[in-house]
Structure 1
Amino acid sequence: MQPKFSVIIPVKPGGEVRALAGLSRVTYPADLFEVLVAYGCQPSVQRNTAAREAKGEILYFLDDDSAVAPDFLDRAAAHYREQNVAAVGGPSLTPATDSPLQRAIGIAFSSAAGGGGVRNRYRKFGAARYSSDSELILCNLSFRREIFLAHEGLDERLYPNEENELMDRLQQEGHLLVHDPELAVQRSQRRTYRAYVRQMYGYGRGRGEQTLIAGKLKPITLAPSLFLVYALLVPLVVPLLGIPLLALPLLAYLAIVLLASLQGTLVGKDAALFPRLLLVYPTLHLVYGAGVIRGLISPRYRGGKQTHWDVEVRRVKAFEER
């Protein structure tokens, strides 16, 4: 028997829900899925509120601009036939129609030099597999509703990184997470450099806050922050100590950025990508590192869960939005 899905989309008050266009073309039986749009200003709270009102056995979280494939619910449903699977998701791909800056950001996210261990969140690679939060992303992620609610959903103190914290808990209990590259959605990257800087700072700060909540520090989490401190100190320490060798790691990093930018330009087949990649890569590492430090030193939460009074959930018949 096919499960019923509740597709949940958080959006700011008055915001456009572009994801409905793709949902209007899904091939899954219309009586086996519903769409809930949660309006508010706290995405974690919005998602949790909608999850409690959902009627489906599976909660599928999308962002307001996630463009899905027509068969995405069919593919997700097949993975849930295995009872120990608690979450299923796929990558978020950058459309070819995006601007050179947006495509440069997408290339960086999906590369070893940029995205590193989480790059499969942003590229279609390999076959469906058991995975971890390093490959799953909340703009394209589903959970069994029973398990989601039993764990009190997303930690509302976090945004972003709330899904990572929940998936960590699920894996520690022995639940399985599935990454399916064919479940990919299309989502545009930030349109301006300023918005990209805010995004990376927010990602880093969320990771720092998640680390505090989990009480467990992964060494890789501090790598960008340590490099940021090193990069700031090199211009001061090298002249003072007269040890040029201290600058070698920085020079090596710049060489890696140059090579990664050249490679990304060749893959993207657009010369306009090159100067943008030269800017995008260092921004990704350094601004993210600054965000991690801020999250560890000054977390935004002050204990306790946030209230839900400002969230409005509306049910939408997506297939009527043609």
Structure 2
Amino acid sequence: MELSNIFVSIIIPVIELNDYLRESIYYISKLSHPYFEIILIPNNPINSGLNNNHRLSLKFIPAGKIGPADKRDIGAKFAKGEILAFIDDDAYPRKDWLTNALKHFKDPEVAAVGGPAVTPEHDSFWQKVSGAVFLSRFAGGHPDHYWPGKGVYEVDDLPSVNLLVRKDIFEKVGGFNCKYWPGEDTKLCLAIKKLNKKI
């Protein structure tokens, strides 16, 4: 697998166009890895209001009022990428997000890669307080999912806010189990681990 040429499908479930999504698209436009498409799965068609001055490859797939796991599965069906990159509409990737994540797929046993979901520095006080809740083992359970620091290590579970998965493995395990919410990302990771693949 030639890492520099991997095509990635960035899949974002969203209810409707919002300022968080606009900001997320702006940050995605700055990614250092150039080979990607963005698949947005809103409830209803988005006809205007999203400035695409960045000339990004954007697909809109209106899906109705369904959950985020269902929307991610729909996005995966339309994805052209070898790697599916799941991110939330209120998440903003760093410029090196894909570059850093993709290098781990050089190991053919690695099926999924993820990283922390850090509250941005420019967020409001209350947004930072909300983010701090997830840093607690009492409230969040896995603070390492929300704060960088340990380096690279294998895990059994990652949240879908920042999750990249090989498309062939995603299809093999049947995608997200939409009966579980929250927890569909945990179910996906458990199915991947049952294939004896690394996360």
Normalising by structure 1, report the TM-score.
0.51
Query: 2:94 maps to what in 1?
Result: 69
> Any idea what the Cα deviations from partners look like across 1:201-255, whole Å, max 9, x if unmatched?
xxxxxxxxxxxxxxxxxxxxxxxxxxxxxxxxxxxxxxxxxxxxxxxxxxxxxxx
CA distance in 2, matches of 1:38, 1:56: 16
1:3-22 matched pairs, under 5 angstroms: 3-16=6-19, 17=21, 18-22=23-27
Amino acid in the other structure paired with 2:9: S
CA distance in 2, matches of 1:144, 1:171: 13
Displacement of 1:72:
1.0
Aligned residues: 172
CA distance in 1, matches of 2:188, 2:13: 18
CA distance in 2, matches of 1:137, 1:80: 18
Secondary structure (helix, strand or coil) at the match of 1:107 reads helix
- Which one of 23, 31, 36 corresponds to residue 28 of structure 2? 23
Provide closer, same or farther for how the CA distance between residues 105 and 85 of structure 1 changes in structure 2, counting only shifts above 3 A. Answer: same
Displacement of 1:102:
2.5
Displacement of 1:90:
0.5
1:215-234 matched pairs, under 5 angstroms: none
- Which one of 17, 39, 57 corresponds to residue 82 of structure 2? 57
Q: Does 1:105 align with 2:130?
A: yes
CA distance in 2, matches of 1:21, 1:156: 29
Query: 1:314 maps to what in 2?
Result: none
> Any idea what the Cα deviations from partners look like across 1:30-87, whole Å, max 9, x if unmatched?
xx21111111232111110110110000000011121111111111110000001111
CA distance in 2, matches of 1:43, 1:58: 19
Secondary structure (helix, strand or coil) at the match of 1:50 reads helix
Amino acid in the other structure paired with 2:25: L
Amino acid in the other structure paired with 1:6: S
Bigger Rg, structure 1 or 2: 1
Q: Which runs of 5+ in 1 are unaligned?
A: 178-322
Query: 1:129 maps to what in 2?
Result: 153
Alignment RMSD = 1.5
Displacement of 1:100:
3.1
1:1-322 matched pairs, under 5 angstroms: 1-2=2-3, 3-16=6-19, 17=21, 18-29=23-34, 32-40=35-43, 41=65, 42-116=67-141, 118-133=142-157, 136-177=158-199
Query: 1:313 maps to what in 2?
Result: none
More helix per residue: 1 or 2?
A: 1
Normalising by structure 2, report the TM-score.
0.81
Secondary structure (helix, strand or coil) at the match of 1:78 reads helix
CA distance in 1, matches of 2:28, 2:37: 10
Secondary structure (helix, strand or coil) at the match of 2:39 reads strand
Secondary structure (helix, strand or coil) at the match of 2:31 reads coil
Provide closer, same or farther for how the CA distance between residues 14 and 68 of structure 1 changes in structure 2, counting only shifts above 3 A. Answer: closer
Provide closer, same or farther for how the CA distance between residues 50 and 140 of structure 1 changes in structure 2, counting only shifts above 3 A. Answer: same
CA distance in 2, matches of 1:39, 1:97: 26
CA distance in 1, matches of 2:137, 2:112: 25
CA distance in 1, matches of 2:183, 2:18: 22
Displacement of 1:113:
4.0
